[in-house]
Structure 1
Amino acid sequence: MQPATDPAAYDRAAAWIQAQTNLRPTIGLVLGSGLDILADLVDQSVAIPYGDIPGFPVSTALGHKGELLLGKVAQRPVLIMRGRHHTYEGWSPAQTTFPVRVMHRLGIRTLILTNAAGGLNPDFRVGQIMLIRDHIALPAMAGLNPLRGPNEDEFGDRFPAMNDAYSRRLAKLAHAAAREAGTELRDGVYVWVAGPNFETPAEIRMLRAWGGDAVGMSTVPETMIACHAGMEVLAFSTITNLCVDTLEATDRPDAEEVVAAGRAAGEAYAKILRTLLPRL
């Protein structure tokens, strides 16, 4: 079923999910490529395949299981998306962000996003975790914007500001949690591209010159919709590969490599989340 984007569709999906559990979480977590291992953190969980939820799109991307988990992490009720949706799968921006508005209907007010990303910053190395402090939304600037179309007034204003899309309050808490967990956390700017192809060397040099530190094919549409609805957003990128910026380079980015590097970073994320979630 193709997901609708009318208010009744959000309500139907939210009501169906609520009927499956007594938990009423206020924190949502979206797991990116290779980070499915974080689902092991969840206690007393209820698993719901996306295909069972009215109107929900189904994940097809490598490393994205495609189910909701409702349970507790560090004693905090959470809703976890084991996999997300991308425009390169054929979904519209509104369809890829349908789950975010359903989460808002469910009472989620803090959204934690994770992804796998290529490292643009020459100081980054594979396996590092970057805290997203700002983004460049190339597809949105070209018209592929999840907020395009009639404004959904029940969520927010027609022209939402994006200068504080990523919560400074949550960023401070994340840095404190990372320090306590002994995990390095780098700040940076994430560049959203539509994919599915990886970038050319010329594109990499351009994105780096524009101030990008990491590049990937997700996360920003979810951030925009969450920001529009007044949700607080915290977002992380796992640097899963270093971007190739010369024609002479023999290295080639590979989707399997991306998923494997994401899995390798799972324990570092787990340490941060165990420390962070009780403080939210």
Structure 2
Amino acid sequence: PGHSGRIVFGRLGEKTVLVFQGRFHFYEGYSMDEVVFPVWVLILLGVEQLILTNAAGGINTVFSPGDLMCITDHIKLSGESPLRGPNLDAFGPRFNDMSDAYSSEFRRAAGDAAARVGVDLRQGVYAYMTGPSFETPAEINMLRLLGADAVGMSTVPEVITATHAGLRVLAISTITNMAAGILDQPLSHEEVMETGAMVRDKLLLLLKEIIGDL
């Protein structure tokens, strides 16, 4: 829901840009290979830098709905990996290094871009849960103790695949709601959609500035 499922080619200034409007989610019944198929397409097209966005629930109580968070690292609580099975040696090593999966250089550039356009870009660790059920308060408390600042149902498989192939990755979460148990209120997909629409212009402003610097 909320994904138009289109691929758009275009130019932003002097930069050639390819945009996937939407993604495949593991919770929709797709295999992990299908979830990361768009990333394989980008790799074969010669793309070297990847910017991912998502909607996430805030765990860090300093955050508020509408905040943007630059992902510094992730916690993967799914047993599934997009790299499971025979390794594609032409793309990357059997055991890939994830210590700088969210490029520190790319994150610094994003922070500089945010400062120039007056966008408050927070930073934090993203926890990946497969969904589609929202997390329970007990799960959120566990994630908080593990060091997660936000939680969502996407992005990490794509990051693993891109990192395996040597792409430089940046990922930005829109905090669309506070996670279960943080506030005394139920969670809904409608709230996620409403908040996402509210921050659309701010996110686009930031992305244009970041891409202009590449």
TM-score by length of 2: 0.97
The higher relative CO (CA closer than 8 Å, separation ≥ 6) is in 2
Aligned equivalents of 2:100, 2:85: Cα separation in 1: 23
8 A Cα contact 2:134 2:180, kept in partner: no
Paired positions, count: 214
8 A Cα contact 2:69 2:121, kept in partner: yes
| Corresponding position of 2:42 | 103
1:212 CA drift (Å): 0.3
Amino acid of the structure 2 residue aligned with 1:229: A
After TM superposition, where is structure 1 displaced by more than 6 Å over at least 4 residues in a row?
A: none
Identity %: 48
Tell me whether 263-272 or 185-194 shows the greater mean CA deviation: 263-272
Q: Secondary structure at the match of 1:135?
A: strand
Larger Rg: 1
1:134-213 equivalences under 5 Å are 134-139=73-78, 142=79, 144-213=80-149
8 A Cα contact 2:102 2:168, kept in partner: yes
Amino acid of the structure 2 residue aligned with 1:93: M
| Corresponding position of 1:84 | 23
Aligned equivalents of 1:74, 1:243: Cα separation in 2: 38
| Corresponding position of 2:196 | 262
Tell me whether 152-161 or 237-246 shows the greater mean CA deviation: 237-246
1:160 CA drift (Å): 0.2
Amino acid of the structure 1 residue aligned with 2:158: E
1:1-280 equivalences under 5 Å are 62-139=1-78, 142=79, 144-245=80-181, 250-280=184-214
8 A Cα contact 1:88 1:194, kept in partner: yes
1:250 CA drift (Å): 4.4
Q: CA RMSD in A?
A: 1.0
Aligned equivalents of 2:128, 2:101: Cα separation in 1: 14
Amino acid of the structure 2 residue aligned with 1:235: A
Aligned equivalents of 1:253, 1:97: Cα separation in 2: 27
For residues 49-83 of structure 1, the C-alpha deviation after alignment (integer angstroms, 9 at most, x for no partner) is xxxxxxxxxxxxx1100010000123311000000
8 A Cα contact 1:74 1:277, kept in partner: no
8 A Cα contact 2:59 2:179, kept in partner: yes
| Corresponding position of 1:23 | none
1:279 CA drift (Å): 1.3
Change (3 A) 1:74 1:270: farther
For residues 223-276 of structure 1, the C-alpha deviation after alignment (integer angstroms, 9 at most, x for no partner) is 000000000000000000001227xx6411111211111111111112112211
Q: Secondary structure at the match of 1:235?
A: strand
Aligned equivalents of 2:77, 2:99: Cα separation in 1: 16
For residues 137-184 of structure 1, the C-alpha deviation after alignment (integer angstroms, 9 at most, x for no partner) is 110xx2x11110110111100000111101111111100000001000
Amino acid of the structure 2 residue aligned with 1:132: I
Aligned equivalents of 2:40, 2:152: Cα separation in 1: 22
Amino acid of the structure 2 residue aligned with 1:147: L
Which consecutive residues of structure 1, in runs of 5 or more, have no partner in the other structure?
A: 1-61
For residues 34-54 of structure 1, the C-alpha deviation after alignment (integer angstroms, 9 at most, x for no partner) is xxxxxxxxxxxxxxxxxxxxx
Aligned equivalents of 1:66, 1:250: Cα separation in 2: 34
Q: Secondary structure at the match of 2:75?
A: strand
1:89 CA drift (Å): 0.4
